[in-house]
Amino acid sequence: MLAPNHFQEGTTLALSGKAEISLPDDDSEAFVVLLNVIHARSKFIPSTVSLEQLTKIAVLVDKYRLHGAVSICTDLWVQRVESSRSYLLDISQWLCICWVFQKKGVVQKRH
């Protein structure tokens, strides 16, 4: 996308030294969290996220194939959401999270 003469963004980058890329389908707050993780800006990385925010992060991780880059944080976030049992609020979000982060058997049947 950023190669000159392939897409408008690449041509703009080559001519002006900067380019703006619109990502209207991506959640901006989740994207900022991911950028902070990728760039090791640890003081800006939340130690806990909500079920809803973790779902949005999971969608972006899957879309941009960032699994390895963010696994250390996502492992912690998944554990904390699981321990809070907030996943019971929306099982479809939890299924998305478990699918993206390959968390087999995270939720175990409790007697």
Name, in order, each residue with C-beta under 8 angstroms of 71's C-beta and a sequence gap of 6 or more.
101
Q: What is the pLDDT of residue 109?
A: 47
9, pLDDT greater than 90: no
Q: Residue 10 and residue 20: Cα distance in Å, rounded?
A: 10
What are the pLDDT digits (tens) for 38-84?
999 999 999 999 999 999 999 999 999 999 999 989 989 998 988 88
% of residues, the chain, pLDDT over 90: 51
Question: For 26, phi and psi rounded to 5 degrees?
Answer: -95, 140
16, pLDDT greater than 80: yes
Number of Cβ atoms within 10 Å of the Cβ of 33? 23
Mean pLDDT of the chain: 87
Q: Among candidates 55, 109, 40, which has minimal Cα distance to 87?
A: 55
